[in-house]
Structure 1
Amino acid sequence: MEYGELVARASAAAIEGWDFTALRGRVVEEPLPWSYERLLRDRLNGAASLLDLGTGGREFLAGLTPLPPRTAATEGHPPNLPIARRRLESLGVEVAATSKRSTGPWARRRPPTAAGTSPVPPPGWPRPGSP
């Protein structure tokens, strides 16, 4: 199959949130020597709250059940917001819209555990590796 045809098929695929099942088998990558999910599960053990930054369509967060009693999520990509809300509210998770200018309603009451696959932390939050 030619490159242009691969791109056309990928562009036409039904993709919702961050679920790329339609593209399965099209990417080859080496497994990492660590697991983000395992590291996060270790931190969630006994956690009272969790904030998932940039939850996407909720696929990752919903897979972490059982969730801490107070779990919330943010999403900055408008098409993903109704998807995340539809999927997470049944789990008791509050989902808030965010943007480059807003961190959502939790900016002043940061939970003890925060997670996210977003490469950039919200404004005012420490960057990874900073004190």
Structure 2
Amino acid sequence: MSPGVVKHAVDNCKNSAEEVAHYERTALDYEANMRAVNFRASELCFKALKKFEEKTGIIIPRDGKFIDVGAGTGMSAEELRRCGFTGVVDALEPSDNMFSLAEKKGIYSTRYAELLSPDKVRAPKPIYNCIVSNYDSTNF
């Protein structure tokens, strides 16, 4: 599957409900499809974070509290662990099928099963040390 095919599938969704339905249908194949297009957003995100820490001296506590926005199947959370982050990781993921795959990885503590939208943003408490989101990277 090419990056254009992945992008086109999501672009055809007319609203958030259709987008969630798309992920419900494609959850089982999601990681294989991302590997097929050489998806490396999680890896690149954490490389960028490391550069940020080096340049600014601001260090994100490795044992802090994190939230993965658009958690999907948990690929970003897996990368968090590979990069040495040991803290609590919560998930914001509206797709039940995507999250059921993520949940099997045993990384997430709490799931918020709602959409993140400009007209309805409910910030979960407590505040997080780091917000992770590679969701938009699939919508290139």
Contact 1:17 1:83 survives alignment (8 Å): no
Between Structure 1 and Structure 2, the one with more helix by share is 2
* 1: CA distance, partners of 2:103 / 2:38: 31
Decide which of 78, 98, 103 is 2:96's aligned counterpart: 78
| Counterpart residue type for residue 124 of structure 2 | A
Q: CA RMSD in A?
A: 3.9
Change (3 A) 1:76 1:108: same
| Counterpart residue type for residue 85 of structure 1 | E
Query: What is the TM-score of this pair, normalised by structure 1?
Result: 0.54
- Give the structure 2 partner of residue 54 of structure 1: 70
Per-residue CA distance 1:15-55 (angstroms, 9 max, x = gap): 6374135872xx589x99xx322123555454511111111
Contact 2:70 2:134 survives alignment (8 Å): yes
- Give the structure 1 partner of residue 85 of structure 2: 67
| Counterpart residue type for residue 102 of structure 2 | A
> How many residues are treated as equivalent by the alignment?
101
- In the TM superposition, 1:85-124 aligns within 5 A as 85-87=103-105, 90-91=106-107, 93-100=109-116, 106-119=123-136
Higher relative contact order (CA 8 A, sep 6+): 2
User: Percent same amino acid among aligned pairs?
Assistant: 11
Per-residue CA distance 1:30-81 (angstroms, 9 max, x = gap): x99xx32212355545451111111110022112213342221111223212
Gapped runs of 5+ residues in structure 1? 1-6, 8-13, 120-131
* 2: CA distance, partners of 1:103 / 1:82: 23
Query: What is the TM-score of this pair, normalised by structure 2?
Result: 0.51
Mark the structure with the bigger radius of gyration.
1
